Amino acid sequence: MRNTLLRMLAALMCVLAACADVTPVQDFDLQKMAGKWYVVGFATNAPWFVNHKAGMKMGTAVLVPTAGGDMDLSYANLNADGTCWRMTHLAKKTDTPGRFTFHSQVWNNDNDMRIVDVLYNEYALVHTIKTKDGVSEVLNKLYSKSGSVTPQQPVLCPWGKATVC
């Protein structure tokens, strides 16, 4: 029952995100967002997710503010063979606090990333619209400072204990 509810919630998040203009959290503070986060939840309408979700593991994201107000993003995930997969981006600030844009050289897509909810010492909900060749996909991630989800935090689809690269 719980897994069904979580799947329905994840699907709903994707539908709502695709239909609504998602705005960043008010009073966003980039300095408070800095640090290591665990990616504990993931929801997307991307077709590739169906084929890869069973093998996905919890990853980490390290967010580092730059002097100019941009954000260095570093992601690490554990591959099935035990090796680490890493990716970095420089997310450029926009005129809207909590909203950043970047181009992924790995996936050759443009990303519009918004921090839509955050308790800086607990969790962050990150909404990203990824566009490639005129086709957009929505990706919602739940970040946790502790590597776990508590009942007070929003839940998309928790993956269990963190494995760190």
Q: pLDDT tens digits, residue range 113-128?
A: 999 999 999 999 999 9
What letter does residue 24 receive in the DSSP assignment? P
164 pLDDT more than 70: no
45 pLDDT more than 80: yes
Mean pLDDT (the chain, rounded): 83
19 pLDDT more than 60: no
CA distance 99 to 96: 6
* The model scores a pTM over 0.75: yes
**Quick one: pLDDT at residue 155?**
42
How distant, in Å, are the alpha carbons of 12, 40, 85, 147 from that of 163? 28, 11, 12, 9
Residue extents of the structural domains in the chain = 2-144
pLDDT tens digit sequence for 54-98: 777 779 999 999 999 999 999 999 877 888 889 999 999 999 999
What sign results for the dihedral spanned by CA atoms 30, 122, 77, 84?
positive
CA distance 134 to 40: 29
**Quick one: pLDDT at residue 29?**
98
**Quick one: pLDDT at residue 149?**
61
**Quick one: pLDDT at residue 152?**
53
How distant, in Å, are the alpha carbons of 17, 27, 137, 161 from that of 14? 5, 25, 9, 24
Fold that domain 2-144 belongs to in CATH = Lipocalin (2.40.128)
**Quick one: pLDDT at residue 150?**
59
**Quick one: pLDDT at residue 5?**
41
Lowest mean pLDDT among 20-24, 75-79, 156-160: 156-160
